[in-house]
Amino acid sequence: MNDWVNAEQHAERARTFFQNGEWEKALAELRLALTLNPEQSEWHFGMGLTLDALSRYDEAVESFSESLRLRGEDPEVMMHVGIDLIHLGRFDEAIEVLERSNQVDSQFEPGYCYRIAAYAQLGDHDQAEAMFYLARQVHDECPNCCDHLAHSLKARGQLEKAIWCWQQTLRLTPDHADVRANLGEAHWDRGQLERANVLFEQQLTHHPSDADTRLKLGQLQIEMDRHAEAAKTFRSVLDLDPSIAEAHYSLGELAIRCGHLQEAGTEFEMAIRLDAQAIGGHLRLAQVEMHRGRLDRARGLLATELDKPDHTPDEAVDLSRTLMDAGMMTEAIALLSRVIDEEDMAAGLDCPTQGPSAEARATFANVLLHRGYACLVTGHRRAGIADCRRAIRVVPGSALTLHNLALAYLEEGQVRRAAYFHRRAAGLRPKDPMIKRLGHRLRRARLSAWFKNIWTRLTARK
C-alpha cells in the first residue's frame, strides 16, 4: 500500500511540474512513480508527453508504445506515436501507425491529418492530397491539415495554392507557431520580398524567440541590399543564443561585402569554433586569408573544408573556385569529379527533352563547366573540351561554356571549330568584353594562318 501511495504522490508532483513547464523534474517524478507501479498506462502516456516537450522523440515513442500495450489500441496515443515517428524521419512507420488508428476509429481525423505530413515528406503528394480530402469528410476545416498540405504544395512548386492553405491555417489558428514564417518563405520564393519581410517581422512579433525566422529575415535583408538591417538582425539572433554558428557566419559574409576583413575573419573563426563541421566556414576564412596574402594558411583551411562530406553541387562549385584561385587545381578537379559521379540524375541529364528540372540541369552543367575549365587550365584540353561539350548538351544556351569551348579549340589549333563556337557565344552576348577579346584573337589567328598559307605556297614555287 505504501508503494502505491508513494507512486501516486510522485505522479501528482510530476503533473504539477509538467503544468509549470519543468520538464526534467516532471520526468524524474514519473520515473519514480513507474518504478513503484509500472502498470499505469496514463503515467507512461504522461512520460511520452514530457519527453515530447524535451524533443526526445525516440524515448517518447517507447513510452507511448508501452501505454498502448497496457491500454490497448487507443487512436489518440497512436497519433502521438505517429507524430514522433515523423519527427524522427521514420515516415513509413508513422503512416502504418496512423492508418491503424483509423482502422480502430474511421472518424478519428488526426489519423488522416498527420498522414498528409508523412506522405508529403516521402514525396508522395497524391496520397498527401487524398488524406486531406478524407480528413474533410470527418471535419470541414482543420488548421493542421491546411498546414501539412501547404508544405506538400510548396514542395511541388505550387506556391499560390500553398499560400492559400497557409492563409486558412492563419484564419483558423491565429497563434499557429510557424504559419507566418511559412507564408514569408513562400512569398520570398515568388519574389515578393517586401511582403516576405512583413510576414517574417509579424512572426517575430508573435514569437520573438524564433531564431530560425530571425536568420531567414537576415538573409532576406541581404538579398534586399539592407545590409545594416541584416547585421542588426543577425546580432539579435546572438542576443538570443550566442552559440548559433550560422549568425556568426552570416555576419562574416556581411563584413566581407563591406571590405572589413578583420571583422570577417573574427566572425568566421567564431563560427568554426561553434560548429567545425558546418559547410563553408573554413572556405570563407580561407578567402579572407587569401585577401590578406596568407596563401599557405588559406590552403590549409581549404584542405580542411575538402575533408567535410556531403557538399552540394553549388557548394562544390563555390569551393572549387577558391581552390583554383589558390592553385589547387588537382584538388578542384577531384572535388568536382566526385560530385559528378555522385549525382543520381546524371544519366538523364544529357537528354534535353526529359529527366530532371531546368534548375537541376543548370546546376549540373555548371559543375561540368568548372571542371572543364580546370582541365583546360592544367593542359588537359581533351578532357576539358569533353566536359564543356557535355555541359552544352545539358544547357545549350550558356555563353560562358561556348566561350570556353571556342578558346579550347583555338589553343588546340582548330580555328574553324573555335570560330563556330565563338559565333554562338557572340550571338548570346554580343557586348561581352571577354567574348569580344576572343573574337580579336580569332581574327589574328585566321590572319596568321592566311599568311602562313601564302608563305607556304610561295616557298613551294621556288
- Give me the pLDDT at residue 390, please: 93
What residues does each domain of the chain span?
397-462
Q: What cell was used for 217?
A: 529575415
147-199 pLDDT, tens digit per residue, is: 999 999 999 999 999 999 999 999 999 999 899 999 999 999 999 999 999 99
370-417: per-residue pLDDT in tens?
999 999 999 999 999 999 999 999 988 889 999 999 988 888 888 889
Task: Say if residue 458's pLDDT is above 70.
Answer: no
In this prediction, residue 276 carries a pLDDT of: 92
Q: What is the pLDDT of residues 307-343, one digit of tens each?
A: 998 889 999 999 999 999 999 999 999 999 999 987 6
Residue 357: pLDDT band (50, 70, 90) is confident
- Report angle CA 205, 54, 145 to the nearest 5 degrees: 60
* Mean pLDDT, rounded, for 340-349: 61
Res 445: pLDDT? 78
How many angstroms separate the CA atoms of 310 and 140, rounded? 44
Distance CA 231, CA 218 (A): 7
Q: Which of 279, 280, 299 is nearest to 289 (CA)?
A: 299
Phi-psi region of 280 (alpha: psi -120 to 50; beta: other; left: phi over 0): left
Say yes or no to pLDDT of 32 above 50.
yes
- Global pTM value: 0.82
What span, in angstroms and rounded, lies between the C-alpha atoms of 137 and 134? 5
pLDDT exceeds 50 at position 356:
yes
pLDDT at 293 over 70: yes
- By the 10 Å C-beta count (0-12 exposed, 13-18 middle, 19+ buried), 126 is classed as exposed
Query: What residue has cell string 539592407?
Result: 226
- Measured in whole angstroms, the distance separating CA 174 from the mean position of its chain's CA atoms is 28
Q: Report CA dihedral (431, 438, 335, 384) to the nearest 10 degrees.
A: 130
